[in-house]
Amino acid sequence: MSEWSLVYDQFDPKNQGLLEALCATGNGYYVTRGAFCWVMADETHYPATYLAGGYNRAQTEIAGRIIENEDLVNLPNWSALTFRIDDGDWFNIQAVSVESFRQELDLYRGILKVEVRFTDKKGRESTLQTRRLASMAEKHLGGLELSLTAHNWSGRVEVLSGLDGRVINAGVRRYRDLNSSHINPVAAEPFENPDTGETMLHLLVETKQSHLRVSQAARTRVVSNPHAFEAKSSTETEAGYARQTIRVDVGHGETLVVEKLASLYNSRDTAISEPGVAAREAVIHAPAFQRLAHDHERMWCMLWDRCDIVLDRSSRIQMILRLHMFHLLQTLSPNTIDLDVGVPARGWHGEAYRGHVFWDELFILPFLNFRLPAIARSCLRYRHLRLPAARHAAYEAGLKGAMFPWQSGSDGREESQKVHLNPRSGRWVPDNSSIQRHVSLAIAYNVWRHYQITGSEHFLELRGAELMLEITRFFASLTHFNAQTGRYEIHRVMGPDEYHEAYPDTETAGLNNNAYTNVMVAWLCTSAMRVLASLDAAHRDELMDKLMLDERELALWDDMSRKLTVCFHDDGIISQFEGYENLKEFDWEGYREKYGDIQRLDRILEAEGDSANRYKLSKQADVLMLFYLFSREELSELMQRLGYEPLTLEQWQRNIDYYLARTSHGSTLSYMVHAAVMARSHPEKAWELFTQALHSDIDDIQGGTTPEGIHLGAMAGTVDLVQRCFTGLDVRDGALHFDPVFVERMGTLKLKLRHLGSWLHVTMQQDEMTVAAQTGWAQPLTICVRGETRDLQPGESVTFNLSGGGAAEVGRAAAD
């Protein structure tokens, strides 16, 4: 097995949706699903292209009420390219005899390849090959190459190339009752290269509500031996569709090669006059496919040089880990930096969750912070630009500061559904997920971690500090003081679990004193003080004056950091929320026997007329998210500051065991988070959970969700699990700390990190860890491995003994 290729060697119609999501090609500006170029949308295939941040709003009447949703829009299909021989049927892989099949996603080069050897109904033997890319070097361009070899025949081949805007959003079955028409056709026309007279295609559409104009242009030409082929071309257009037909005579044993170059622009792009003009000019001046591919591959090579993580024991695990990094970089690339887009939970790979932004950057930014910090900053800028909307939301709720939405899209309003469809029962049920206020805590956590890793004072002064302080102000206004207990409380919220929306048999949504929320707020109040202390006096005074922040508020935050409520039960188990201990235990074995797959217990119980609110069960980590974000020492410090006993090692493990036994893993994030929290105490068990998390998308373990879009948070989380949890990586007090956990099945681990502007090469083996600093950086770094600290100069390397004997050895770095 190649460690750089995702390969399928059989065509299976039932798996095409999964392959189309996993084999999508993108560049941070747009993503095109990996559907074959010759297919149209049907029950088997779903070709689609999505623009980063390309949203539109539409209304639907459901259950007697008007529902409005903002969706990521399925844009015109630029990659439509098919053929037929001697006026026969257009190629259909299910209508021929397939002798061999291979589909390969080349992760290193960012190219999707398909090869089919087939015999048609007339006995003609042929080999069809395609290559496709979304240019990482030229974000507005995409390329497609089609080769057809005639093994035992000669005849006329008709090639059909189109720009097809006759599309709707139909990629998620449970959304199909909703309004799915988002674009209006504006123009479909051929045009000529003014210098050569070559005919090309142009298509312009506009979204119905957001009035986003999207323009595509395409150039299709025969590029095999021009003396062997005399091509004849014609064009046709209709509303939303432009097509070009090229007819070519092909001889026995010859190979016809056709390339299609397409451009994509939209009306929000910078440095253009108008998207139609820009698209036409781009495709006129576009290089040949081979040159486009060369420049594209060069950019991917540069990204992999920064981002690759190497494990030497398992080719499949290595490949899947790279697949996850690949899709992360296709969603958030250097092309994203100047865009106003957030981190979509499902990538730009499909229509699930409508392309919305949740809290997934919590799992994604750690990878970017250490390698591509400018991209991480652009994701945080997306939040800062929506700070006015968050302030307005808090004001409307009678609160202060900034209340960010659980689901965000174009303008920062709350995009969460009011009702959602349970596909198991067929009923539309209330959706209270918008009270997951912890999304704002994730934003604040990301801001502070970004500053710790990069040391970017400019970012903190410009955006970061204001975000953190306004979020702190919001939670201070959400908090109530209980005079009887002498502690602060937070009521009517949901934690990350998502199964528990309310107390049993009550109509009021929300729970009191969710442990994750309360402890994170305590951390936030402490961190807000650190933020202010990190600013120079002038910037601190300016910001406090701008926010009208006074010493009374700061004193309140300090008091909250010491007196927020955390509930316990069963002698040291942190209660997920107040009253958790009164819930019923769940019959796990009975439901597994009855249903088999019980990941989505909320849907199963609702279909039975019951509710997850009644039971001690979780969809994913809630309390244990604290164990994921903080080390035992850090969490113990927070607890001590709050006036509680620090967590002993025995309590730490008992909490993990308690909640792991009560979790259904109904989210793809679940296995990953639980693997991380078990890395210290049970590394082999953690590795098993890690491999389960790795297979979440590639094996579609949720039974049909991956075809609707990848799970970007889980993908990036598995990468961070290797980077952070198995290495014990942390940043504290300006030093880079490692506390390695070695797993035999992992073998040697190699990765690169960028800390405070300096690049480090890290190699971890069973008995030693080597950290080498690249030359060219002036700043020495402090490295600490299992309590042993060394200052590392540029060009130096240091090797730490992990077996308990011998001191660290310092030398020159072997290579840059």
- By annotation, the residues acting in catalysis are 498
Locate 369 and state its tokens: 């912070």
Sign of the Cα pseudo-torsion (356, 357, 358, 363, in order): positive
Proportion of the chain in helix, strand, coil states, percent, rounded to 5: 35, 25, 40
Question: Hunting for tokens 């929506």 — which residue is that?
Answer: 386
- Amino acid identity at 349: H
Taking the C-alpha atoms of residue 659 and residue 410, their distance in angstroms, rounded to an integer, is: 36
Taking the C-alpha atoms of residue 451 and residue 200, their distance in angstroms, rounded to an integer, is: 49
Three-state DSSP at 60 gives strand
CB atoms within 10 A of CB 613: 18
Residue 318 annotated as binding? no
Give the max Cα distance, the chain. 92
Taking the C-alpha atoms of residue 635 and residue 626, their distance in angstroms, rounded to an integer, is: 7
Kindly give, in sequence order, each residue whose CB lies less than 8 Å from that of residue 249, ignoring residues fewer than 6 positions away. 154, 155, 156, 157, 229, 230
CB atoms within 10 A of CB 778: 8
HSE-up (13 A, CA, CB side) for residue 341: 29
Q: Are 102 and 93 in contact (CB under 8 A)?
A: no
Kindly give, in sequence order, each residue whose CB lies less than 8 Å from that of residue 552, ignoring residues fewer than 6 positions away. none
Kindly give, in sequence order, each residue whose CB lies less than 8 Å from that of residue 42, ignoring residues fewer than 6 positions away. none
Q: Are 662 and 618 in contact (CB under 8 A)?
A: yes
Taking the C-alpha atoms of residue 478 and residue 557, their distance in angstroms, rounded to an integer, is: 12
Taking the C-alpha atoms of residue 201 and residue 216, their distance in angstroms, rounded to an integer, is: 8
CB atoms within 10 A of CB 269: 18
Residue 103 annotated as binding? no
| Strands across the sheet containing 49-51 | 25-26, 30-32, 49-51
Q: Are 404 and 390 in contact (CB under 8 A)?
A: yes
CA distances from 114 to 129, 184, 269, 350 (A): 6, 33, 32, 21
CB atoms within 10 A of CB 529: 14
Taking the C-alpha atoms of residue 121 and residue 84, their distance in angstroms, rounded to an integer, is: 12
8-state DSSP, 274: -
- The secondary structure of 360-371 as a DSSP string is THHHHHHHHHTT
DSSP element (H, E) containing 25: strand 25-26
Sign of the Cα pseudo-torsion (578, 677, 758, 324, in order): negative
CB atoms within 10 A of CB 245: 15
Taking the C-alpha atoms of residue 473 and residue 413, their distance in angstroms, rounded to an integer, is: 19
Taking the C-alpha atoms of residue 428 and residue 663, their distance in angstroms, rounded to an integer, is: 25
Locate 645 and state its tokens: 């006993």
Q: Are 475 and 524 in contact (CB under 8 A)?
A: yes
8-state DSSP, 645: P
**Which of 555, 537, 539, 557 has the alpha carbon at shortest distance from 547?**
539
Kindly give, in sequence order, each residue whose CB lies less than 8 Å from that of residue 447, ignoring residues fewer than 6 positions away. 380, 460, 463, 464, 467, 468
Bridge-based pairing of strands 749-755 and 788-792 is unpaired
Residue 304 annotated as binding? no
Three-state DSSP at 594 gives helix
**Bridge partners, residue 158, by sequence:** 84, 247
Residue 588 annotated as binding? no
List, as residue ranges, the binding site for substrate: 359-360, 619-620
List, as residue ranges, the binding site: 359-360, 619-620
